[in-house]
Structures are given as structure tokens and as C-alpha cells.
Amino acid sequence: MENKVLVLCRLKLKPHMGLTFIYRHLTQRTLLTRHISAAALPLVLAQRQKVFSSHHSLTSSFQGRKHYHKHGTEDGSTTTTITSSLALLTWLFLKDRVSVAAAEDEKTRSANLLFISCKNNDLEAVRKLINSGVDVNCKHRFGWTPLMVAAINGHYTVVKLLLAAKANPNLADGFSTSAILSNTMGISRKEIQNVRDTEFSPLLSLHSFKGSTALHYAALADDDKIMSALIDTGADPTLVNAQGFRPAQFADPRKNSMFQKWEKEYEATRKAKEAEMRRRFPLEKRLKERLVGQEGAINVVSSAVRRKENGWFDSDHPLVMLFLGSSGIGKTELAKQLANYMHGEKREAFIRIDMSEYQSKHEAAKFIGAPPGYVGHEEGGQLTERLSKFPSAVVLFDEVDKAHPDVLTTLLQLFDEGHMTDGKGKRVDCKDATFIMTANVANEEISNMPLTLESQRRKYLTARQPKVTSQQLCIIYIPEISREFKDTIIHPILKAHFKRDEFLGRINEIVYFLPFNTEELNRLVTRQLNFWAGKAYSVHKIELTWDSEVVSLLAKGFDIHYGARSIIYEVERKVIGKLASLQEIQKIGAKDKLHLSIRNHDIIIEKLNSSGKFTPVSN
């Protein structure tokens, strides 16, 4: 077996003394986690030895044996060659990172001391470490937090101290099993299990508790005082770990009533907070901050979600919406922002399924997973597996019009019954989920609607608000698609494509996304220019401004086939590309003030000179 060593513990550099390297053994806590094969080092560095021949000394320790090498000294032994090569490779990797690495090493040592102190119930040591600035929410290299260590070992006073220092009781343990960690981290199972037993708890060695919180471990320890302390500081008793267990399922069955009370109180508090947030920051307001235009679509979606959140909805069925409109017009972005509004920054709260991958009949099984005896049975379904972990997620079925009819049958069951049965026979309830489908059918008909709607807007402007500008009208007048258009034009197209009235009948809302008008295109351009102006200042310390004519010219680059993406590309081509070229030839640089203007129907870049005037900058 090849010997493996960790590269560096500490490095010192003094011009008159050369380099000093100090190493540690593999089993000790080290500065770097890079493993280097000693047998391979002479080959790797055979051509690099001359580069470092001018250094005066190299000091190292390798497998407990210390060797001192003066410049030009070679004793011919394998150990000497390996040690010298190891030192040289270390210098190659770390010559520019020594100070940062040393700081990280000190931070790691302090964190390790905090874990040990929590395990040993050393209250004074924990207090000193917290006061010194150690992060109470730091994670052990194997996944757990100091609060979890104190909870599983029943150290109430340490738990109270950590909570007072803002320890998060809802963080999840990343430790699964020693076998899994051994494969991913390249460390022996025995060593991992030894660390788990000695630095966390020896009672959990044979089980996986991945995703468990401090409350899970307090329930395992059967410590009422710690459980109450965690609940009082915001611990969520409804969180499930990777195996799907709540803290109550780890506790003594005689305490079920206590957990049921906590769960009801937590849900009531959560709903009250969400209601207050919805009152202060309505969904319409949030969505309009993120999206340009589509006021009609935003209002329809917001109304449907509000009915669901406030209990004015059929709780036996999930909310189902169909988004219609051309590409790049905000359908996917609206779904993402809806998930963000409903569930915060949780990545698992948004599930996107590309339905173009389900064009064949046999691919319908990918939704729920392969049945027993078939390849992929253990992997679970692409939809059911993720919904089982987050039953109230926002699920986006992108381009549902491309899916095979058998897939639509599966979706119909899901929409109608509010649950699915996966390939393992497990029922997955999803009545609390929100399902959004996007489709590109009837694009041409919907794209032509703005002509009619624009006529309605002008009539409104003339008859009711003669002094209101067109731009103000976009804010106070929201176009509404007529019932006749929906029933006589859109519905027959949908029926001809999906061929199932019962499928269309389970859709709660059909949402129409209209092409951008002139004012909305200008807002899209302005948003992109503001983004790049912020980027220019934060990265390059360059100030960027522009004329309104620049916005109008860039807006003309809109392509209905690519939607908002075409505006992004237009700004990058006609503005950002020029800025990058000028910076490359050093015509512009840090602290420059630049201005975009129009000359001969083209965008030019001007720079503020010493006399306070903007002059064109050319290649």
C-alpha cells in the first residue's frame, strides 16, 4: 500500500534562511485536506526540481522520521527524495496562500475546541470560545453542530449558552453513515466511526441520522429541559430528517401529547407570521419587483394563491395552473418567484420537470420510479422522490404540451386525487403542493392579442384620462383578455392538443402571458443597464451612465422568439462587448466615468476627461 501524507501544517519563509516546512501525520488534524501519494511525487516533480534549487534549506517530517536537507545534498535514499519532492510540491501549491491558510487553520482549531468543550460539558471553555468569536453554528467536518453535541449528551447549561449566542436549532446534521462518508471523503470507516463515537455519541453508531436537528437528538436523549429550551427559541418540531422522521418519533411514546401541542403551537405561530408578512408585503408587490410587465398574469396568480393560503380553497385537491405565452416572457421566472414567496430560499421548495424528456410512453415510469425488479427501482421517481421530501413545493411542469398522453394520465390522477403511489408502493400526498404547467400552444393567437388590447387602452386613455401619459396608463390600466377570446379561440386549441376535457377541467387557472409593449421593453433594457452599471462599479470601479435614446435603441433589439433573453443579448453585444474591448486595450480603467450616447444610429462610449467633458473613446 502506498504511503499517503497531508501536505502542510505550517510554512515559514525568510530570504536569508530559505524555506521551512512542518508536516503532520494523516491521522492528526491538518491544515489542508489534500492527500498526496508519496510514491508518485518523484515522477510528478521530476522536471520541477531545478526551479527550486536556489533555496537554502528544507526541513520536514515524514512518517515520524525527521530529515534535514542542505542545498545540493542528496543521500540517495527513497525517503530523502520523497521528502524533498513533498516540500517542493507544498511550496508550489501554497506559496501565495500561506497567511490565509494559517488563519483558516486557527479557525478550525477553535471550532474543534468548541466541539470538545460541548462534549465534555465544559461551560467556562464554551463561554470563552464564544466570546473569542467562534461561530456557534459551525459544522464539524462530518456534519454536526455544537448544539447537537450538547443536546445528545444532555448538557442543558451548554445548550442554554449556545442558544443565547444565537445557535440555530433548526440546522440539519450532515452525517449519514461511516460507509457513505468513507467513499466521499477517502477516510477509513474505522476512523470515521471512532470520531463519531468519541466526539459526538457512541449510542448512534449503527444508524443514519442525516438531516436530524438538535431537537431530534434531545428527543433521543429524552431530556425534557433541553427540548423545552429548543422549542422556546424557535426549534421546528415539524421538521423531518432524511429518513422522514419528526422529533416526536424519536421521543418516548408517552410524550406524544407534548409534541402534538408543540407542533400545533408552532404551526399556528408560523401561519400568523406568514399572514402578517402577506399583509405587509402582498404577493403582487413582490412579484412586480422581480418581473417586468405581466400585471394581468401576476394578479390572476396572486388571487389564486391568496385563496389557497387563507383557506378559501378545496383542500382535497392541489392548486393547478396553466401558463400560456411565448418563450422568454416570464413564465418560469414567475413560478420561481412564487416558490420563493411561499417557502423562502429553500431550494427543495421549487421542483422543475422538463416535460420534453417525457415524450415516449415508457418514460412515464420516471415520474413515479421503476417497479420492483426493474433497473432504477432503488432510485425512486423524479417527481415522487422530491415531493415526498417537500409535499408543499411549487412544481413546474415545463413545456407540458410535449409530454406523451400517458404522462398526462399520471398528471390527471395527481391533480384529481392529490396523491401518487411510487414504484415502491409508497403513497405520496401532495394536496398542499402548487402545480404549474407551461405550454407553447396558441402562441400566435396570444401574441396577436396586444393589438386588440392596445386599442382598448387608447380608448380608455381618450375617454377617461385625457391627461394621462401612455407610460402612466401602463400602471393604472391592466389589460384583460375577454371571455369570448378564451372560449372561442384558446379553449378549442387546448382541447385539440390535449384531447381530454377532464384534464383541462382540473386546471384551476389558465394564465395568459402577453408580449411586452414598448414601455415594458424600455424597463427591461433599463434593468439590464442598471445591473451592468452595478457590476462595472463593484468589479472595475467604473461609473456608467446613459441617455434615454440608448434605452430606446436597445429595446428595438427585442425578438419575440427569444423574449426577454433577446434584450439581455442585445445589451451584451452592443454595450458590454465594447466596454470589455476598451478595457483590454487599456482605453478605460478604474475610476473612469463613462457615458453611453447615440451617434449615427449607433451606441458610442464617452469618457469624462480632465476638463470635465465627455469625449468619445474609440478602439
CATH code, 435? 3.40.50.300
pLDDT, residue 518, reads 86
Closest CA to 290 of 301, 306, 304: 301
Regarding whether 574 and 466 lie in a shared domain, the answer is no
Lowest mean pLDDT among 57-66, 309-318, 344-353, 386-395: 57-66
pLDDT (tens digit, 9 = 90+) per residue, 396-455? 999 999 998 888 888 888 898 888 877 777 788 888 899 999 998 888 788 776 655 555
More confident residue, 178 or 269: 269
Overall average pLDDT of the 591-619 stretch: 89
Domain boundary among 272, 301, 327: 272
- Identity of the highest mean pLDDT range in 281-295, 421-435, 487-501, 534-548: 534-548
Q: How confident is the model at residue 51 (pLDDT cuts 50, 70, 90)?
A: very low
Mean pLDDT of all residues in 14-21 = 37
Q: Which domain holds residue 584?
A: 518-616
Q: What is the pLDDT of residues 361-372, one digit of tens each?
A: 777 777 777 666
Is the pLDDT higher at 334 or at 279?
A: 334
The band of 373, judged by pLDDT with boundaries at 50, 70 and 90, is: low
The answer to the question of residue 495 being in a domain is yes
Q: What count of other Cβ atoms lies within 10 Å of the Cβ of residue 324?
A: 24
In this structure, the answer to whether residues 84 and 156 fall within a common structural domain is no
Q: What is the reported pLDDT for 235?
A: 93
Domain boundary among 70, 96, 122: 96
Give a yes or no: residue 133 inside a domain.
yes
Q: Quick one: pLDDT at residue 5?
A: 38
Phi, psi of 393, deg, nearest 5: -70, 160
Same domain? For 378 and 297 the reply is: yes
In the predicted model, what is the mean pLDDT of the chain?
A: 77
Residue 210 in any domain: the answer is: yes
Residues 381 and 433 in one domain: yes
* 352 and 443 both lie in a single domain: yes
Are 119 and 256 found together in one domain?
Answer: yes
Q: Tell me the mean pLDDT in the region 254-269.
A: 90
Indicate if the pLDDT at residue 227 is higher than 90: yes
The residue behind cell 527550486 is 52
Q: How much is the pTM?
A: 0.60
Last residue of a domain, one of 223, 238, 272: 272
Mean pLDDT along residues 242-267: 89
- Please give the tally of structural domains in the chain: 4
Distance CA 362, CA 359 (A): 9
DSSP for 73-115, written as a single string: -----HHHHHHHHHHHHHHHHHTTTHHHHHHHHHHHHHHHHHH
pLDDT of res. 464: 54
Q: In the structure grid, which three cell numbers stand for residue 356, read together?
A: 420534453
In a domain, 42, yes or no: yes
Confidence at 105, pLDDT banded by 50, 70, 90: low
Residue 469 has a pLDDT of 54
pLDDT at res. 353:
92
**Do residues 171 and 213 lie in contact, with contact meaning Cβ atoms separated by under 8 Å?**
yes
CATH number of the domain residue 249 falls in? 1.25.40.20
Same-domain check for residues 367 and 499: yes
pLDDT, tens only, 61-94: 333 333 333 333 333 333 333 344 444 444 444 4
Residue 123 has a pLDDT of 92
Q: What local confidence, expressed as pLDDT, does residue 151 receive? A: 94
Of 171, 265, 262, 263, the C-alpha closest to 217 is 171
Measure the CA–CA gap between 368 and 415, rounded to whole angstroms: 15
**Cα 30 to Cα 8, 26, 175, 437, 574, distances in angstroms:** 7, 8, 20, 51, 50
pLDDT, mean of residues 593-604: 92
Looking at residue 458, what is its pLDDT? 55
Task: For residues 401 and 376, state if they share a domain.
Answer: yes
**Is 536 a member of any domain?**
yes
What backbone torsions phi and psi does residue 590 show, to the nearest 5 degrees?
Answer: -60, 140
By DSSP bridging, strand 602-608 and strand 614-616 are antiparallel
Interstrand relation of 543-546 and 509-512 (parallel, antiparallel or unpaired) = unpaired
Looking at the fold, whether 122 and 223 belong to one and the same domain comes out as yes
Tell me which range, 224-238, 340-354, 404-418, 477-491, is most confidently predicted by mean pLDDT.
Answer: 224-238
Q: What is the mean pLDDT of residues 241-246?
A: 85
Q: Do residues 324 and 490 lie in contact, with contact meaning Cβ atoms separated by under 8 Å? A: yes
Domain match, 295 and 439 both? yes
Is 465 within the bounds of a domain?
yes
pLDDT tens for 115-144 read 999 999 999 999 999 999 899 999 998 889
Instruction: Specify whether 343 is located in the same domain as 477.
Output: yes
Residue 277 covered by a domain: no
pLDDT, position 103: 44
Least confident of 299-303, 334-338, 498-502, 549-553: 498-502
Q: Is residue 336 part of a domain?
A: yes
What is the pLDDT at residue 395?
94
Give the tens place of pLDDT for each residue, 283-309: 888 888 888 888 888 999 999 998 888
Q: Please compute the mean of the pLDDT values over residues 379-400 and round it to a whole number.
A: 86
Instruction: CATH number of the domain at 576, please.
Output: 1.10.8.60
Tell me the C-alpha distance between 98 and 106, whole Å.
12
Look at residue 177 and tell me whether its pLDDT is greater than 70: yes
> Is the domain of 370 the same as that of 248?
no
